[in-house]
Amino acid sequence: MALPLYLECCECGSHQTYEPFAAPVCKHCQSEWLEACYDYASFKRELLSGLPGRPFNLWRYQDVLPINNPSALDLYPAGGTPLWLSQRFAPELGHSHVYIKDERYSPTSSFKDRQAAVAVAAMVEGGVREAVIASTGNAAVAYAAACARAGIKLWVFMTSLVPQEKLRETALFGAEVIRVSGNYDQTKQIAAQFAQRRKLLFDRGARSIPAKESMKTIAYEIVEQLGWRAPDWYIQSVSGGLGPLGVHHGFRELFEMGLIDRIPKLAIIQSEGCAPMVNAFKAGKEVADPVVPNTHIIILSTGDPGKTYTYLWKLTQTYGGVMEAVSDAEAFSAMRLLAKSEGMAVEPAAAVAFAGLEKMIKNNLIAPEETVVVNCTGHTFPVEKHVLGDQFAVDVHLSEDQSPAPREGLQAALENLDEKVTSVLLIDDNADDALLIRRLLEARKSYRVYYARDGWEGLSLARQKLPDLIVTDLMMPSLDGFGLVEELKLDPRTKHIPVVVVSAKDITPEERARLNGYIEAVYQKSNTPVRKLVDEMLQVIEEEKRS
């Protein structure tokens, strides 16, 4: 068992029981800065023995991750990324002790794979089958991949400013993508309200214990890869700040176990166009004022870091560190230089950290003898446009500019979204019949309609999309309607989805008896006008919504 023994409040020191999906708030002082505590004595013995037989990925440190029984799960792999000594990039800046933690080697080429791996493992262990997240890009892709493997339906809310490649990549893994015409903070708000309306789990990002705990595995790997030494500096570009907050926690755990002799200083790097943390840090403020993002590096466009900044600020005041901003142009320059000098193609968000390193060295903030680790957070993977069509996302309109949306605007957007995300899966080997039904459905309301040409394709889409209604032909080659319905009802993910059967032939009493109890209704194409059929389908959907 590796569940936390308790949660400790970093403000008042009180302890409370860990609850996997509850918002971690101290019951004594209402602080949101809680940290998980484990049986460190037992884990230290495992570390000193060399963790024999454990693979080099984040599950190597499962004793201090909030999963009850990791061995019983088909765990999504993440972590175990290389640590490179910079051969040319840093030496040409005048520093020869810079290491690069290369998170591009994760499953979706981003450090967010760690967060997704632990968060989704917690979902699987907790029986969660459907979840909602908001993201500026990398987390969306990571969660989509992890949820695809776990069989969890994922709703991803992203601002429309996120590059199309990230949106498409997320959709490629089967996630339902909701593209919001607002900034990231608005997107989080509407995602949270959507989850609440549908009674779904909303992943809380930096406030989530599984997510934050996942990031400390970066610290464990760095220390192990440096021969059980801690670096003097840990540098990372940030948007919301989850990464370095969790990494620092890992360094502190190792220090308190007596396995390293110091806790590294943090360097938090932001884009100048969205640098609320840096602005507050340089003004000596404990609380960051929100800003309106104005950067081309959309992945780093969190305008309101909330209390995460305050927690990071306190860490820099206690253990040392800085917060620095670089321009988009400086980041793009570092991106090109890193490719030419180290042979590393990184995304602009990762390049921000290297531009920050360059600035810190030039300003003599890093001593020549100090050991530095820079987190290379990710590598952009563009999805080819021909893989997905144009209708891979649902659009939600909030406002023309990036100003906060009024309450009534959010409510209207949510109500409109409820219509747009209602989905129908049509399974019919006759494409003309399916097209007619689809056009009539979409003419009535903004339903999302998926189409499969045979039973096996339909079964796969049903498990992936978990539609609100399935309409299937009875007679199809390969897997027919009878077999399809039986497969759907045997699968716990799809057994509750209402099914309407449409048949071109007369249905015998024996066939009706075989379908009885499994479907909502059965219609014969020759006897039922298509418009009436569509009306009946809409009625089934509305009844399901009310139930």
**SS3 assignment, position 385:** helix
pLDDT at 225 over 90: yes
509 and 528 assigned to the same domain = yes
Residue 167 within a domain: yes
Residues 6+ apart with CB under 8 A from 365: 267, 322
- In tens, the pLDDT along 464-503 reads 888 888 888 888 877 888 888 888 988 888 888 888 888 7
393 and 506 assigned to the same domain = no
Q: How far apart are CA 372 and CA 357, in angstroms?
A: 9
Tell me which DSSP letter residue 58 carries: G
Secondary structure E strands in 490-537: 499-503, 521-524
403 and 448 assigned to the same domain = no
11: exposed, middle or buried (Cβ count in 10 Å: 0-12, 13-18, 19+): middle
Residue 362 within a domain: no
pLDDT at 364 over 90: yes
Instruction: State the DSSP string of 387-441.
Output: GS-S-SEEEEE--SSSSPPPHHHHHHHHHHHHHHT-EEEEE-S-HHHHHHHHHHH
What pLDDT is attached to residue 78?
A: 94
Read off the pLDDT of each residue in 67-72 and give the average, rounded to a whole number: 84
What pLDDT is attached to residue 431?
A: 81
397 and 485 assigned to the same domain = no
pLDDT at 387 over 60: no
525 and 426 assigned to the same domain = yes
pLDDT at 384 over 70: no
Identify the CATH number of the domain in which residue 500 sits: 3.40.50.2300
Task: For residue 352, give the amino acid letter.
Answer: V
HSE-CB for 411 with a 13 A CA cutoff: 3
Q: What's the first-to-final CA gap in the chain, in angstroms?
A: 39
Query: What's the chain's average pLDDT?
Result: 87
Core vs surface per residue 454-488: b (16+ CB within 10 A) or e: bbbbbbebbbbbbbbbbbbbbebeebebbebbebb
Joined together, the tokens standing for residue 425 give 């899966």
431 and 541 assigned to the same domain = yes
pTM of the model: 0.79
**SS3 assignment, position 448:** strand
pLDDT at 412 over 70: no
450 and 501 assigned to the same domain = yes
Contacts from 316-322 at CB under 8 Å and sequence distance 24+? 316/265, 316/266, 316/268, 316/281, 319/248, 319/263, 319/264, 319/265, 319/266, 320/265, 320/266, 321/265, 321/266, 321/267, 321/268, 322/265, 322/266, 322/267, 322/268, 322/281, 322/360, 322/365
Residue 40 within a domain: no
Which segment of 102-111, 235-244, 399-408, 508-517 scores lowest on mean pLDDT? 399-408
**SS3 assignment, position 382:** coil
430 and 522 assigned to the same domain = yes
Read off the pLDDT of each residue in 271-279 and give the average, rounded to a whole number: 95
121 and 164 assigned to the same domain = yes
Identify the CATH number of the domain in which residue 119 sits: 3.40.50.1100
Alpha helices in 229-306 (DSSP H): 242-256, 276-282
Neighbours of 329 (CB within 10 A): 11
Number of structural domains (the chain) is 2
Q: Which of 378, 413, 448 is the last residue of a domain?
A: 413
Structure confidence at residue 446 as a pLDDT band (50, 70, 90): low
Joined together, the tokens standing for residue 217 give 């595995």
122 and 150 assigned to the same domain = yes
Residue 266 within a domain: no
Residues 6+ apart with CB under 8 A from 296: 273, 328, 348
Neighbours of 193 (CB within 10 A): 17
Question: Angle at CA 103, nearest 5°, toward 100 and 104?
Answer: 110
Residue 138 within a domain: yes
Residue pair 55/35 in contact by the 8 Å Cβ criterion: no
Q: Which of 503, 500, 493 is nearest to 525 (CA)?
A: 503
Phi, psi of 67 (to 5 degrees): -120, 130
**SS3 assignment, position 21:** coil
Read off the pLDDT of each residue in 58-68 and give the average, rounded to a whole number: 94
Q: How far apart are CA 499 and CA 458, in angstroms?
A: 12
Q: Which of 6, 43, 52 is nearest to 257 (CA)?
A: 43
Joined together, the tokens standing for residue 510 give 């024996």
Share of residues in the chain with pLDDT > 70 (%): 89
- In tens, the pLDDT along 110-122 reads 999 999 999 999 9
HSE-CB for 150 with a 13 A CA cutoff: 30
Read off the pLDDT of each residue in 248-255 and give the average, rounded to a whole number: 97
Alpha helices in 257-403 (DSSP H): 276-282, 307-319, 328-342, 348-362
Q: Which of 413, 446, 465 is the last residue of a domain?
A: 413
498 and 430 assigned to the same domain = yes
Q: What is the extent of the structural domain holding 131?
A: 112-207+388-413
396 and 478 assigned to the same domain = no
Cα of 187 vs its chain's centroid, Å: 14
Residue 332 within a domain: no
Residue 513 within a domain: yes
Residue pair 502/471 in contact by the 8 Å Cβ criterion: yes
Most confident of 60-64, 296-300, 507-511: 60-64
Which segment of 16-25, 62-71, 130-139, 526-535 scores lowest on mean pLDDT? 526-535
Residue 471 within a domain: yes
